[in-house]
Amino acid sequence: MAVYRVLIVVFVLFLTSSFGESFRLKARFPNQRTSDHEIAAKKTICPYCKYETKYYEQKLDHFNFEKNETFQQRYLVNRKQWKTGGPIFFYTGNEGDITWFANNTGFMWDNAEEFGAMLVFGEHRYYGETLPFGKKSYESPKYLGYLTSEQALADFAILIRHIKVTFPGAKNSPVIAMGGSYGGMLAAWLRMKYPNVVIGSLAASAPILQFQGLTPCEDFYRIVTDDFNRDGGKPCTDSIRKSWDIIKKLKPTESGRRILSKVFRLCSPLQSEDNVTVLEDWLSETWVNLAMVDYPYAASFLEPLPAWPIKVTCSKLQNEDLPDIALLGAIADAVGVYYNSTGKTKCFNTSQQAVSSLGDKGWYFQACSEMVMPLCTDGKNDMFYPQKWDFESYAKGCQESQKVTPLQYWVETEYGGRSLEAHSNIIFSNGRLDPWYAGGVTTSVSSSLVAVIIEDGAHHLDLRHKNKNDTPSVIRAREIEKHYLHEWIATYNENDTKKVLF
Amino acid sequence: MAVYRVLIVVFVLFLTSSFGESFRLKARFPNQRTSDHEIAAKKTICPYCKYETKYYEQKLDHFNFEKNETFQQRYLVNRKQWKTGGPIFFYTGNEGDITWFANNTGFMWDNAEEFGAMLVFGEHRYYGETLPFGKKSYESPKYLGYLTSEQALADFAILIRHIKVTFPGAKNSPVIAMGGSYGGMLAAWLRMKYPNVVIGSLAASAPILQFQGLTPCEDFYRIVTDDFNRDGGKPCTDSIRKSWDIIKKLKPTESGRRILSKVFRLCSPLQSEDNVTVLEDWLSETWVNLAMVDYPYAASFLEPLPAWPIKVTCSKLQNEDLPDIALLGAIADAVGVYYNSTGKTKCFNTSQQAVSSLGDKGWYFQACSEMVMPLCTDGKNDMFYPQKWDFESYAKGCQESQKVTPLQYWVETEYGGRSLEAHSNIIFSNGRLDPWYAGGVTTSVSSSLVAVIIEDGAHHLDLRHKNKNDTPSVIRAREIEKHYLHEWIATYNENDTKKVLF
């Protein structure tokens, strides 16, 4: 969910921004997949991943003392392996139901015993059950104003204090923040803004540099293209690159759209050019998602997929010289790897406009306020259709759809951009296959701001449960990460004063 | 003003908290003195201290993206000595008119040439001319909700970015924050929260540890007592210690109050026991203020005073065995050193309740929301009447008078309490005579978090203009400070990448 949502929204915003006229921010979240996630969230993936569900009363606005409204923040706790005074691994929840993250962050469960660690998963405000205004939370920008990363970080800092003060034996426990994707950004930022609260952070696939002026906007899609090149060669990427022009040619006419509907086995026939735009977005999104979940074993992170799914996808795209319609047919087959690995999907759903999950709505608001991540393509160095980054039209779209004006430079000022030298004790892990690698911290800044690269890893592979098909690079990455965690904890424990870190 | 206000409010809150019944938060700010400050603010103390006055449009709420209200932040700039690319010394304005701080921070003016530095003084929101809601700003807690240190820090960070982006040649200038008292706290916190924006901070007499659980509440008044002991010996402190009981005896009767009014030469006779309480507070406050401004030369920081004013004050209190009324007379003479050094004051004004200066009102709100600084006395180890720290009654008083509930632990969580190790490049200078030394960082935390002690210095003496009567300890302190500033700047300049630090 983490990544998925980050990606999707940014991706969608990007795509739509150059379409100019309509800002279809609400498109592109097929309910079907959202529901899958919701089901997944309720399933406990590992049998020993059991937690208590707790709630803490948080201030709605930590930065305004005239306001006294509060809400219940959900958090999950496992103390089974915890030894009194032992560390607390605190997952900084991202834009979704916290149970989903608890179930998809195997690294914490796998290592609880070795560290004698308490596991805590803090839910991000406005997601899952942590809805400050209940069902009304998404009804108006007025309610959504309190959905910011700064407020979420303050929630986490205060929740950690609460846990240390109220859980017997936890007063002197060192706390380490962990998170992936947006949750990884929050883990890094929590250490940066509240180094008194967490002794260090594991920020997995955290694109804290995917902001204005910090990272070339084209890097993201080039990585996706490189992944497809790596596993499928030029025939694969050329097939995809060619497909856009073919679709473009068929787009304006009714007969063309009929062909597209048929070739792509769409549940609802394409009625308009706008519908075709949605199809284009859906295809782009699929290629990106495949790059994010290109794991070495069969997994169901976003969708149930085979091992190395890009390899399987590209196996359907090995002849870029096919006639137009046949090439589109191959594209449809390739897309089927992502949406129809079970073979049960009768038709594809690209045009569902409704956003059923609160998580999606929340991220739309965040992407339209502070989380403005520029992305672009040129169609030459990447396999996508060319799209410039255009902040003005992005902003216009946000104003229209979210009634909010995005801030182009706020995140850089608030969280430091590339000026990270003053910070310490953060591991930035990045999968080389992950498009979000582009905006990650991929070079160590100092001996305690460490970049860990997982050569054949996709989006926060290291945070997942260990697996017999794990590649040496992710096994090594986890070892390095554990080395630092042990080191931080030892340094903290050597400190005689045993200060209570609040 | 800085300190003065910090002190007064905390002091008043403390005094009144144990009086229980009435929470006279608005008392104890004689207009006369406030007006003096306002006049002082308009005077340029050094002839070369000239600045341009500028304004920048700030967001009212940096942590809520649904809100778009803005206000004009005033800032003062001097570029006379600045060399392109040279450093920017940025004064983080405290709770008052920024022109007053510009005129009372001689250190910046005295060193502009040596550093080739641009000087900028940023006004704190809700003070001076920087009133987000104009004259209405103080009318309701609703408007005051945006008066927080977090918002003020974000203002400063954004203002610095604006200056670097828009002032020709400033793009790569390293910025160093400077401030005294609450301004010093802000300078330290700015470096802690925005190390990307300032390469270091000089935090003079910044009591960042004067918060719940971090510093014994009795330390503050013991330092005042020590100062009086040092310069006036036991007779001086015993005289003051004895005075409280004498006043207490005279307090309940009309004839007693008549005597007090006469002995203390009050402009308005004491009509009630409450009036006597105001007199008691006024006396306590005077002793504290004297300790804060116990400078080695005649100065007009809070009031026009002779050099080493405690020495002069205590010279009036060398016989603690005087009969009761004669002892009070001596106390009145001693107080006269503070309020009547010019000899022009005909009577003393202790009971004016009105608060004419917005600055005072603003600090009341801050002290009643996040800036909760516990203080207490026992009357034995200090020369004051015994007062316990009682958060509950403090909170009750705040709710009644300010319609706001103070947060006991927020500042510790938000700004780190004593867990400062992760930070860097902050000089904490503390005058050993200054009561705020109690809550200062007085031991170096690391090689770049340095405590500088000025043995015979009062409240941020080091930030004042150099003076021919400066003691060796303050001269040395300024040299140490400059050494670090040069070092930080050199390190920044050695960095080839010349990153724009936002």
pLDDT digits (tens, 9 = 90+) for B317-352: 999 999 999 999 999 999 999 888 778 888 988 854
**Which member of B37, B62, B459, B460 is catalytic?**
B459
pLDDT value at residue A211: 96
pLDDT (tens digit, 9 = 90+) per residue, B206-222?
999 999 999 999 999 99
Distance separating alpha carbons of residues B303 and B294, to the nearest angstrom: 11
Could you give the CA distance from residue B95 to residue B366 in angstroms, rounded to a whole number?
Answer: 9
B104 Cβ contact partners less than 8 Å away, ≥ 6 residues apart: B1, B45, B301, B463, B464
Residue of A67, A416, A425 lying closest to B196 (CB–CB): A416
Residue A379 per-residue DSSP state: S
Contacts of A226 (CB under 8 A, 6+ apart): none
The pLDDT value recorded for residue B301 is 67
Report how far residue B411's alpha carbon sits from residue B149's, in angstroms, rounded to the nearest whole number.
10
Question: Is residue B33 assigned to a domain?
Answer: no
Interface test with B, best of A56, A58, A59, A64 (most B CBs within 10 A): A64
For A77, half-sphere exposure in the C-beta direction (CA atoms, 13 angstrom radius) is 18
Q: Of A26, A91, A93, which is closest to residue A365 (Cα–Cα)?
A: A26
Q: Based on the residue annotation, tell me whether A149 is a catalytic residue of this protein.
A: no
CB-closest option in A65, A66, A419 to B407: A65
- Please indicate, yes or no, if residue B70 is contained in any of the structural domains: yes
Q: Give B304's pLDDT tier (boundaries 50, 70, 90).
A: confident
By percentage, how much of chain A surpasses pLDDT 70? 87
- Strand, coil or helix: what is A90? strand
Measure Cα distances from A308 to A83, A311, A337, A470 in Å. 39, 6, 11, 12
> Helix, strand, coil proportions of chain A in percent (round to 5)?
45, 10, 45
Decide if A33 is inside a domain: no
The residue among B34, B58, B214 whose CA lies nearest residue A413 is B58
Which pLDDT score, from 0 to 100, does residue A12 have? 31
Beta bridge partners of B409: none
Given the residues A149, A181, A201, A369, the one annotated as active site: A181
Domain with residue A264: its CATH number is: 1.20.120.980
Is pLDDT above 70 for B498? no
B130 and B176 share one domain = yes
Say what percent of chain A tops pLDDT 90.
78
Residues A323 and A394 in one domain: yes
pLDDT mean across residues, chain A: 88
pLDDT of A235 higher than 70: yes
- Calpha distance A95→B268 (Å, rounded): 63
The larger pLDDT score, comparing residue B288 to residue B358, is at B288
CB contact under 8 A, B63 and A148: yes
Higher pLDDT, B465 or A46: B465
Residues in chain B within 8 Å Cβ distance of A145: 64-67
Q: What is the pLDDT of residues A282-315, one digit of tens each?
A: 999 999 999 999 999 988 766 788 999 999 999 9
Q: How close does chain A come to B428, measured CA to CA in Å? A: 18
Give a yes or no: residue B390 inside a domain: yes
Distance CA A486, CA A454 (A): 20
Same domain, B198 and B223: no
Minimum-distance CB partner of B413 among A63, A157, A409: A157
Q: Are residues A157 and A299 in the same domain?
A: no
Q: Judge whether A351 counts as a catalytic residue.
A: no
Closest CA to B88 of B480, B428, B488, B476: B488
**Number of domains chain B is built from:** 2
Residue in A161, A165, A364, A413 to test binding to B, most B beta-carbons within 10 Å = A413
Query: Would A6 be classed as within a structural domain?
Result: no
Q: Which chain B residues are within 8 Å of A408, Cβ to Cβ?
A: none
CB contact under 8 A, A65 and B405: yes
A61 touches A438 (CB < 8 A): no
Yes or no, beta carbons of B65 and A145 under 8 Å apart? yes
Chain A residues whose beta carbon lies within 8 Å of the beta carbon of residue B423: 195, 422
Q: Which of A158, A194, A413 sits opposite B502 (nearest CB)?
A: A413
Q: Is the pLDDT of residue B1 over 80?
A: no
Q: What is the mean pLDDT of chain B?
A: 88
pLDDT band at B61 (very low <50, low <70, confident <90, very high): very high
What integer pLDDT is reported at residue B339 of this predicted model? 86
Residues A163-208 pLDDT 10s: 999 999 999 999 999 999 999 999 999 999 999 999 999 999 999 9
3-class secondary structure, B250: helix
The Cα B465–Cα A197 span in angstroms is 39
Answer yes or no: is A84 within a domain.
Answer: yes
Q: Which of B402, B436, B461 is the last residue of a domain?
A: B402
B287 and B360 inside one domain:
yes
Are A413 and B161 an interchain contact pair (Cβ–Cβ within 8 Å)? yes
Q: What are residue B92's phi and psi, to 5 degrees?
A: -85, 95
CB A64 to CB B145 under 8 A? yes
Q: Which of A402, A428, A460 is the last residue of a domain?
A: A402
Q: Same structural domain for residues B338 and B226?
A: yes
Give the C-alpha separation, B420 to B452, whole Å. Answer: 16
Chain B interface, best mutation among A57, A62, A63, by max B CB count within 10 A: A63
Query: Out of B150, B194, B418, whose CB is closest to A63?
Result: B150
> Are residues A367 and A227 part of one domain?
yes
**Nearest chain B alpha carbon to A158:** B413
The pLDDT value recorded for residue B499 is 54
Distance CA A290, CA A338 (A): 7
User: What CATH number is associated with residue A444?
Assistant: 3.40.50.1820
Match 């800085």 to its residue by tokens.
B2
Whether residue A49 has pLDDT greater than 90: no
What φ, ψ does residue B247 adopt, rounded to 5°? -60, -40
In the block, residue with structure tokens 């803490």: A56
Query: Based on the domain organization, do A85 and A200 belong to the same domain?
Result: yes
**Number of other residues whose CB lies within 10 A of the CB of residue A262:** 15
Give the Cα separation of B204 and B98 in Å (integer): 17
Cβ-defined contact of B419 to A141 (cutoff 8 Å): no
Distance (Å, rounded) from C-alpha A331 to C-alpha A316?
8
Does B340 share its domain with B288?
A: yes
Q: Are B481 and B466 in contact (CB under 8 A)?
A: no
pLDDT at A497: 54
Q: Tell me the pLDDT tens digit for each residue of A154-164.
A: 999 999 999 99
What is the span of the domain harbouring residue B148?
52-209+418-501
Q: For every residue of A412-436, which 3-state class applies, written as one string?
A: HHHHCCCCCCCCCCEEEEEECCCHH
B231 in a structural domain? yes
How close, in Å, is residue A413 to chain B by CA atoms? Answer: 5
Are B185 and B370 in contact by the 8 Å Cβ rule? The answer is no
- What H or E segment, with its residue span, contains residue B260? helix B254-263
Query: B195, A369: Cβ pair inside 8 Å?
Result: no
pLDDT tens digit sequence for B248-268: 999 999 999 999 999 999 999
For the ranges A124-128, B23-27, B397-401, which has the lowest average pLDDT?
A: B23-27
Distance from CA of A418 to the nearest CA of B (A): 8
User: Measured in whole angstroms, how far is the alpha carbon of residue A480 from the centre of its chain?
Assistant: 23
Classify residue A386 by its DSSP letter: P
Indicate if the pLDDT at residue B396 is higher than 50. yes
Place of tokens 């998170």: A179
- Please state at what angle helix B219-250 crosses helix B254-263, rounded to 10 degrees: 120
In this structure, what are the phi and psi dihedrals at residue A55, rounded to the nearest 5 degrees? -135, 145
Q: What's the pLDDT tens digit per position in B371-392?
A: 999 999 999 999 999 999 999 9
> What is d(CA B173, CA B160) in angstroms, rounded to the nearest whole number?
10
Task: Tell me the pLDDT tens digit for each residue of A244-268.
Answer: 999 999 999 999 999 999 999 999 9
A321 has catalytic annotation: no
Tell which of B402, B430, B447 closes a domain: B402
Question: Which letter does DSSP use for residue B72 in this model?
Answer: E
Same domain, B326 and B358: yes
CA dihedral B10, B14, B16, B17 (to 10 degrees): 120
pLDDT band at A340 (very low <50, low <70, confident <90, very high): confident
% helix / strand / coil in chain B, to the nearest 5? Answer: 45, 10, 45
pTM attached to this predicted model: 0.91
A181 and A223 assigned to the same domain: no
Q: Which residue has the tokens 């994707």?
A: A181
For B423, the token pair is: 């930070």
For residue A10, being part of any structural domain is answered with no
Average pLDDT on A219-239 reads 97
Burial class (CB within 10 angstroms; exposed 0-12, middle 13-18, buried 19+) of A36: middle
**A73 and A128 housed in the same domain:** yes
Structure tokens at A346: 């009768």
